[in-house]
Structure 1
Amino acid sequence: MVDGSSFAPDRRRFLRGAAVGALAVGVGAVAGSALAAPAQAYPWGGTLRTGATGNAVRELQIRVAGWAASHAQQVYVTIDGVFGPGTFGAVQRFQGAYGLAADGIAGPNTQAALDALTKSDGSTAHFAWSEMWDSYTGGFGGGAVTAAAAQENVRRLMYKLEALRVKIGNRPIHITSAFRGTQHNADVGGIPNSMHLYGAAADMYVSGLANRVIYQHAETCGFSGLERYTIDHQHVDCQAEFGRNWWWESGVI
């Protein structure tokens, strides 16, 4: 787990506009709306516990990343394929939220619960590719990274959003903007090199719920970018995972 403590809202434009590389290499080539369709159940290959390493641990980390903390804390789960303390804590919190024995060990029951959050097209239970891709093109091309990388970044974002959804009482989250291509981002006045261009940001609202409440719960989900909650939507992003500084515009609340 990575801990970040720098917070300077007056540096917003610099922090959000820094040059970065891709967070993830995509799972497969994507052209327009043609999407990869992996099997729903991941081949975990046995029980995962502290000290385990490899691709199954990496996938586990992606799926529990939204359970990075139990309170407002500038930490995120590192996707490095090494089952350490940060992964252990995230697994425990996931298990507790889903009524499982919170032992921090990802055995068959935990793996089944994780698989239940994944749809057959590789998206997640409560979020669809079509609400996350660029509405201009119906795909993930034209941004700051390859279409495949953008789609993989969106997939990782979806699992954090699944955790946020649980924390706000399983209320539907309405995504107003996620991945944007360069032209779309320019047309809506997005900053250059916005996290939206990488598929690592989402703007949202929840009917009947104040953005302040969304912001507070997002502080526990490993989101390193949170726009102020006083506007008409709540923005979340994963900018620290791209080498940027933490940016919680309304501070810790």
Structure 2
Amino acid sequence: MSVQNAQNKLIQLGYGEELRPYGADGKFGTKTSNATESFQKDYNRIFNKSIKVDGVPGPETNRALDHARNQAGVKGTKNFNISEFRCKGSGGLSKGGIDNNLLLKLEELRYDLGGNAIVINSGYRSVAHNRVVGGASGSQHLYGKAADIVVRGVSPSRVYSASDKFFNGVGRYNTFTHVDTRAWKARF
């Protein structure tokens, strides 16, 4: 695995702030080592594992990065707890959890916007709650593939523009931005 590949995975899981100011530059140095070590410690704690904590993104850590990415919709990421995506009406979650890509892309967006906190106004919605809030009948919220977000310190129009790089579905509203991981491109 290349160093840049590991750095990109670290950003997707929420460890991008530790890579600043260099980001995914493909160079192994102190920032990459520190971010990798932070991930390794968190991975062991969250998944009750005992991978080597050495700050090196080797084969074992690469497998752990992939495992954590594949479990993001159930376990969360460094900056997003799954409870943030619970239905505001029923308190439930979609069967199988939230879409992994939604969380990974939210982490990428957070990194892209300078690390500012992202507030989830609405994540998963039950059919009943979706009706109450006037959501579309085929809303991506029903499948755990959407979030209505506010980024602290960033205007909704800037969030909308930045979201275009990461999400297939992006909606602009006065006080928030809708993002989703639908299979086709939609802008509204």
Q: With structure 1 as the length reference, what TM-score do the two structures score?
A: 0.49
Instruction: Give aligned pairs, total.
Output: 152
Letter in 2 for 1:239: R
CA 217–163 in structure 1, closer or farther in 2 if over 3 Å, else same: same
| Residue 94 to residue 180, structure 1, CA distance change in 2 (3 Å) | same
Residues 1:191 and 1:131: Cα distance change in structure 2 (over 3 Å)? same
Question: Residue in 2 aligned with 1:129?
Answer: 82
Alpha-carbon distance between aligned partners in 1 of 2:160 and 2:179, rounded to the nearest angstrom: 8
**Which of 103, 108, 112 is the equivalent residue of 2:26?**
103
- Shift in Å, 1:63: 4.6
Once the two structures are superposed, residues 156-178 of structure 1 have per-residue CA deviations (whole angstroms, 9 ceiling, x without a partner) of 31121111111111111111001
Q: Which moved further from structure 2: 117-126 or 155-164?
A: 117-126
In the other structure, the counterpart of 2:52 is none
Secondary structure of residue in 2 paired with 1:239: coil
User: In the alignment, which of 139, 157, 171 is matched to residue 227 of structure 1?
Assistant: 171
Q: Which has the higher contact order (CA 8 A, sep 6+)?
A: 1
Partner residue, 1:247: 186
CA distance in 1, matches of 2:134, 2:123: 14
Distance, in Å, in 1 between the alignment partners of 2:17 and 2:134 is 37
More helix by share: 2
Match of 1:236 in 2: 179
Taking structure 2 as the reference length, what is the TM-score of the superposition? 0.64
The 5-angstrom pairing of residues 91-240 of structure 1 reads 99=22, 102-103=25-26, 109=33, 112=36, 115=39, 120=46, 122-141=75-94, 147-148=95-96, 151-153=97-99, 155-221=100-166, 223-228=167-172, 230-240=173-183
Secondary structure of the equivalent of 1:112?
A: helix
Q: Distance in 1 between matches of 2:180 and 2:152?
A: 21
- What is the CA distance between 1:100 and its match in structure 2? 5.8
Q: 1:214 to 1:109 in 2, by over 3 A?
A: same
Displacement after TM superposition at 1:104 (Å): 9.2
Unaligned segments of structure 2, at least 5 residues: 48-74
| Conserved? CA contact 2:121–2:147, under 8 Å | yes
| Percent identity of equivalent pairs | 27
Residue 35 of structure 1 corresponds to none
